[in-house]
Amino acid sequence: MNQDKDFLGREPIGRLLLKLAFPTVAAQVINMLYNIVDRIYIGHISDIGAMALTGVGVCMPLIMIVSAFAALVAYGGAPRASIFMGRKDTDSAEKTLGNCFIVQIAISIVLTAALLIWNRDFLMAFGASENTIEYSVRYMNVYAIGTLFVQLTLGMNAFITAQGFAKTGMLSVLIGAVANIILDPIFIFGFNMDVQGAALATIISQALSCAWVLAFLFGKRTMLKIKRKNLFLEAKIILPCLALGLSVFIMQASESVISVCFNSSLLRYGGDIAVGAMTILTSVMQFAMLPLQGLGQGAQPIISYNYGARNVGRVKAAFRLLLKTSVLYAVALWGLVMIFPQLFAAMFTSDAELMEFTKTALRIYMASMFLFGIQMACQMTFNSLGRAKESIIVAVMRKFILLIPLIYIMPAVWSSNQTMAVYLAEPIADALAVTFTAVLFAFQFKKALGKISDTQSI
């Protein structure tokens, strides 16, 4: 592959998307295991499982923020690197990689300090109760130490995928996920470390993934290499990356804000059991979100490269295939959740009361998920085209303008069951957001392609 740098512009779109998306979807599914395996094991700890699961669930807003900062750099830098590659400007592509690498290290240092110093204050504000705060703090104290590994693994792996090395990107995640699955029961049950054992297993696993990613990007197989001369920040390189990545940052960081809003409202109306159910609901939502992001990541090098190469036909064909595939997956998973909610709930808890409560909440919370393939395909394509402004508008609309107000409005509207009314805010916001995104995309996609000319056939 090193000798063939033009394969993104020549191979058939269907074959390319299969080649690139299969490993990236697999990588996202594997990455999902990082997020849910801990919760699966913790939820089944004897005697304390339900409370421990709720406590770790309260940590999710902080973990989402860490991931969001990785996305800020990765989802802004990787598409721009691909566009530069499409223009045959390898020097600018490598400068982008180097600048993003050094920024992620700086962000990691700041985040680690903040999480170690203020995690108890954050967690209490984010919905922890006196019953769950100790589990939350014990988990977060250990997890914070591995912030650098999380940042570099998630952030730099995007540059591997952006070059078309999708299988290598998948292996980056697979190495850590397998380690996590093996280490979790050893630390949690074997060494009786409960939530601290889960966090320790996670950071060791991320460290292994990080080592693999950096070995590749400093090695000989990569097209774009991390070089010392590119580690000095240049405003004209890094600022456009951060601007482009801001939409994904808002989308992921807003998940943290939303989680706080949900947890505080649910604690008020439904108590610890409602917050515990929310932990399971967000875990199941990742079954939808992460594979859809994987599809988008697989299509990103194709769309970005051909946009940079001014090939309108291939950009259109790649988007159409991404949209069809994303919608098909979203509809299929929505059907499974609606028909078998108890199976998803049982993955995370053996507590009968929590499982019964979650079954009903899950159907409400995921009611509009079948539309989400449209949202993610358009969102990821905006990013692939370097359309920072549109990406930011879409992200802000769905989360801040629609969902957050609805979390507080719906309990007043459905006063007979205020707890379930809080969950209902999600599908209503999703349906409205998809409609807005589809209309905006229809106009802006045509406008973006109008700026380039089709120089080669599909």
* Portion of the chain with pLDDT greater than 70, in percent: 97
Give the residue, 317 or 20, on which the prediction is more confident. Answer: 317
Among 257-266, 317-326, 399-408, 420-429, the least confident range: 257-266
CA distance to 24, 30, 72, 267, per residue, from 100 (Å): 21, 24, 10, 39
Please, which residues have CB within 8 angstroms of residue 211's CB and are 6 or more apart in sequence?
A: none
Each domain of the chain, given as residue ranges in start order, spans 12-450
The predicted-structure confidence for 71-122, as pLDDT tens digits, reads as follows 899 889 998 998 898 888 999 999 999 999 999 999 999 999 999 999 899 8
pLDDT at res. 453: 57
pLDDT at res. 147: 94
Among 127-131, 167-171, 353-357, 415-419, the least confident range: 127-131
Among 10-14, 252-256, 311-315, the least confident range: 252-256
Burial 244-270 (b: 16+ CB within 10 A, else e): bbbbbbbbbbbbbbbbbbbbbbbbeeb
- What's the longest Cα–Cα distance across the chain? 65
Please, which residues have CB within 8 angstroms of residue 449's CB and are 6 or more apart in sequence?
A: 312, 315, 316
DSSP 229: G
Q: Could you tell me the pLDDT band of residue 34, with boundaries at 50, 70 and 90?
A: low
> Residue 420 corresponds to which amino acid?
M
Q: Residue 21 and residue 161: Cα distance in Å, rounded? A: 10
Please, which residues have CB within 8 angstroms of residue 158's CB and are 6 or more apart in sequence?
A: 74, 75, 77, 78, 169, 297
The predicted-structure confidence for 222-268, as pLDDT tens digits, reads as follows 999 999 999 999 999 999 999 888 877 877 787 778 878 898 899 89
Q: Could you tell me the pLDDT band of residue 57, with boundaries at 50, 70 and 90?
A: confident
Q: Could you tell me the pLDDT band of residue 3, with boundaries at 50, 70 and 90?
A: very low
Does residue 427 have a pLDDT over 80?
Answer: yes
pLDDT at res. 389: 81
- What pTM does this model have? 0.69
Q: Residue 423 and residue 144: Cα distance in Å, rounded? A: 30
Please, which residues have CB within 8 angstroms of residue 436's CB and are 6 or more apart in sequence?
A: 394, 397, 398
pLDDT at res. 256: 77
pLDDT at res. 2: 41
Q: Residue 83 and residue 106: Cα distance in Å, rounded? A: 25
Does residue 1 have a pLDDT over 70?
Answer: no
Inter-helix orientation angle 13-43/312-339, to 10°: 30
Does residue 55 have a pLDDT over 80?
Answer: yes
Q: Residue 188 and residue 172: Cα distance in Å, rounded? A: 24
pLDDT at res. 375: 92
Q: Rounded to an integer, what is the distance from CA 321 to the centroid of its chain?
A: 21
> Residue 200 corresponds to which amino acid?
L
The predicted-structure confidence for 269-291, as pLDDT tens digits, reads as follows 998 889 888 888 988 887 888 88
Q: Residue 305 and residue 293: Cα distance in Å, rounded? A: 18
Does residue 127 have a pLDDT over 90?
Answer: no
pLDDT at res. 383: 83
Q: Residue 116 and residue 145: Cα distance in Å, rounded? A: 8
* Residue among 318, 247, 255 nearest 286 (CA): 255
Give the residue, 5 or 434, on which the prediction is more confident. Answer: 434
pLDDT at res. 7: 75
Give the CA count within 13 Å in the CB-facing half-sphere of 326. 28
The predicted-structure confidence for 345-381, as pLDDT tens digits, reads as follows 888 887 888 889 999 999 999 999 999 899 999 988 9
Phi-psi region of 180 (alpha: psi -120 to 50; beta: other; left: phi over 0): alpha
Does residue 209 have a pLDDT over 80?
Answer: yes
Mean pLDDT taken over the chain:
87
Please, which residues have CB within 8 angstroms of residue 279's CB and are 6 or more apart in sequence?
A: 39, 53, 54, 56, 57, 60, 348
pLDDT at res. 179: 92
Both tokens of residue 68?
Answer: 């969001």
Q: Residue 245 and residue 387: Cα distance in Å, rounded? A: 10
